[in-house]
Structure 1
Amino acid sequence: MKKLMAPIAIVLALFLLGSSVQAAPDLPKNHRYYEEIQYLMKKGVINEESDGKVRPNAVITRAEVAVMIGRLKGLDGKKKDTKFKDVKKSHYASGYIAAVDKAGYLKGYKDGTYRPNQTINRGDAALIVSRVFDLAFTFNNEFKDVRSDTALSEAIAKVLAANITIGYSDNTFRPKAKVTRGEFAAFIARGLEPKFKNDAVIKNSYQKDKTKTYTYARPDGSTEVHRFVNVPKRDGLTFGFMWTVKVGNDVYEYMEFENYKLFAFAYPYSEYDQALAYPVKVGQKFNTGLGDETLINTITGVNKTVKTRYKTFTNATEVTTKTGFKYYMAPGFATIKSIDEKGRVVFELTSVK
């Protein structure tokens, strides 16, 4: 059964004060989103309010979102008349509200209102962030609380693919849950910076660290170097952050998709290959997703000791194909080694820097 990556394509300050990188009195270093907020403060996306606070735990409003997005995108925030009957020129966010509406990031309502003081929820955040970052790729979500035939489902599939947020272990996304200023700051920071994407993963994730470079050996003596980078648009197609592989003079891209059911390697505007099924346990069988029902893999070992040129792993998961090909995966490292049907090593991790 083919599974496709479909081509589809703040906040914290209400006042236009100078940017500050000093910690606000209500933002302790142990706050869950301390680094993300500090990162955006340095960029001038978030400013302190008049009392020096950023209120990271307060639920965010549509006006606050407009200010954050406007600053992020360099839009004109000068106060101006708007087409919305509930946003006067004197409103602190009037300029940004008009600008983000025009850009299509956060539009008003059909009744002519913008509802600037209305709060947003996780579903709203997914829609807004998918537009702001022009996210192109989707990952099947199948959340039981999200209808699959809606624009919201598509937006959620995009933010999942981009490692901007994740769902919950009970297979829900909770789209109606309110979003705090700190949470929305985290969504934006993850869209901008790979190190923050590392936080949008499930517990005991098999995904690689997006801030590091991974080198692998191939049987012909060549090497593969994998880096997570922002890939420019190509032939009019949006790529965004992806793992980029250099093999000699050749380059290709892929992504790692993961939820509470599976781990997969995905390819631009193509299908994805399932590499693991969750929960990880011996005897677990799964289809790779390549459309051939005979391609069934089986998890044949857990907590295996596997020696690679990089290091010896003691927590590797062994997967065996119908032909006898074996590959080994480890939490935080994805694939670490592969052995063909004749027992030859055909892929092996050699360094992580």
Structure 2
Amino acid sequence: MKKVVNFTVIVLSLLLIFPVGNTAQAAGDFQKSHPFYEEIAYLMDKGVVTGYPDGTIRPDRVVTRAEAAVMIGRVKGFSEAQQETTFSDVPAGQYASGSIAEAARAGYIIGYKDGTYRPSQAVSRGDMALIIERVFDLNFIYFHDIKDVPDAAYYYDAITRLIAANIAIGYPDGRFQPKLEVTRGQFSAFLARALEPEFKNTAAIADSYKRDKTKTYTYLRNGRGESVDRFVKVPGIDGGEDQFVWETQIGEERYPELEYETYKEFAIGYPYSDHNAHLAYPVRVGKTFVAAHNPEAVYYTITGVDQTVETEYRTFTNAVEITTNDGGKYYMVEGFAVVKWIQADGTIYSELKDVE
């Protein structure tokens, strides 16, 4: 019997190994107006995202489980040489067999109970969270209510870790939509955010109070001089992947800190520890919220909006004033987080000095 050659598989295999081009300009269907243009272009330059034989990128097409394996394999530098796999539906001749086999060995992807991988199946947002969590060994968890992700869901921890790492964010109605299929553009955005702080800035709600992760913030601290905050990588726990955090340096002392933000609140906390809410949404005067539990609930109140506050850095006219339970006050500004903190006796505890 004459052997039938599957030219489609060969073409796709060659395409995945040899990119059409390394820049976004090579794609006729990929314009700068696309919401994930910068993220996809970044991954194209790194050789992680490639096009199709007709020169298209198809950013709005769903990403398959095979494509996801190829992309994360390229991020990790895995061999793409075709090989046998442990999955019954991924023979050695399958174009992504090498990437699938390598990713499975690394523990980044797993198959189904029937022994299949289902390479042509689309990746859901829930499964995307699991893949990204494993690939980047995400450590931090920000527990909060997600309407359509119960605590018992197999992807709950992964989703909370993506949110804590500023890689993903839910929808304004409080859902994450874990069963929604992910497009090639969306998957690219998640990968780019995991790799580069600049793209983490886009994983934010409208009118976010989080700081720009590409900038350095200097503060004046009462009795401690200057402190400098930078968004950098620090070693993960138990020898795991390095993790991006805000690191505060005061003299020789350094300590990590995280900013968390959902459609309900803005919070600050230490990795692997509790967090304190600093602002509750929607912002309105008179709103009281639970700031912390230590061990009893501590309440703060929003006492002003569009306030003028002077700092060493500049004068802000759009600050939100929050009064603490002991009579102190602090001020938050969109894009700057806390810009000034005044203790009950009038002492300035901290204020923003510079941003560069």
Range into which the TM-score falls when normalised by the shorter chain? over 0.9
Within the candidate set 195, 198, 202, 1:192 is matched to 195
The TM-score with structure 2 as length reference comes to 0.92
Within the candidate set 17, 21, 24, 2:23 is matched to 21
Give per-residue Cα distances to partners, 1:112-167, cap 9 Å, x unaligned: 21111000111111111111110011112311111112331111100000011101
Within the candidate set 164, 169, 194, 1:166 is matched to 169
Aligned to 1:143: 146
Within the candidate set 50, 54, 58, 1:55 is matched to 58
Give per-residue Cα distances to partners, 1:181-230, cap 9 Å, x unaligned: 00000000000000100000011111000000000112236101000001
Q: Which amino acid aligns with 1:16?
A: I
In the TM superposition, residue 239 of structure 1 has moved relative to its aligned partner by: 5.7
Q: Which amino acid aligns with 1:21?
A: T
Aligned to 1:8: none
More helix by share: 2
In the TM superposition, residue 176 of structure 1 has moved relative to its aligned partner by: 1.1
Q: For 2:126 and 2:297, how far apart are their aligned partners in 1?
A: 38
Q: Are the equivalent residues in 2 in contact too, given 1:62–1:118 (CA < 8 A)? A: yes
Q: Are the equivalent residues in 2 in contact too, given 1:339–1:346 (CA < 8 A)? A: yes
Instruction: Write out aligned runs for 1:1-353 (5 A).
Output: 15-18=16-19, 20-23=22-25, 24-220=27-223, 222-233=225-236, 236=239, 240-293=243-296, 295-353=298-356
Change (3 A) 1:259 1:14: farther
Structure 2: runs of 5 or more not aligned:
1-13
Aligned to 2:6: none
Q: For 2:22 and 2:44, how far apart are their aligned partners in 1?
A: 6
Count of aligned pairs:
341
Change (3 A) 1:16 1:238: closer
Q: Are the equivalent residues in 1 in contact too, given 2:231–2:244 (CA < 8 A)? A: yes
In the TM superposition, residue 49 of structure 1 has moved relative to its aligned partner by: 2.1
Q: Which amino acid aligns with 2:195?
A: L
In the TM superposition, residue 251 of structure 1 has moved relative to its aligned partner by: 0.6
Give per-residue Cα distances to partners, 1:168-190, cap 9 Å, x unaligned: 11111111111100000000000
Q: Are the equivalent residues in 2 in contact too, given 1:239–1:268 (CA < 8 A)? A: no
In the TM superposition, residue 273 of structure 1 has moved relative to its aligned partner by: 1.0
Percent of aligned pairs with the same residue?
51
SS at match of 1:288: strand
The TM-score with structure 1 as length reference comes to 0.93
In the TM superposition, residue 292 of structure 1 has moved relative to its aligned partner by: 3.6
SS at match of 1:225: strand
Q: Which amino acid aligns with 2:316?
A: F
In the TM superposition, residue 293 of structure 1 has moved relative to its aligned partner by: 2.9
RMSD: 1.5
Q: Are the equivalent residues in 2 in contact too, given 1:108–1:114 (CA < 8 A)? A: yes
SS at match of 1:119: coil
SS at match of 2:350: strand
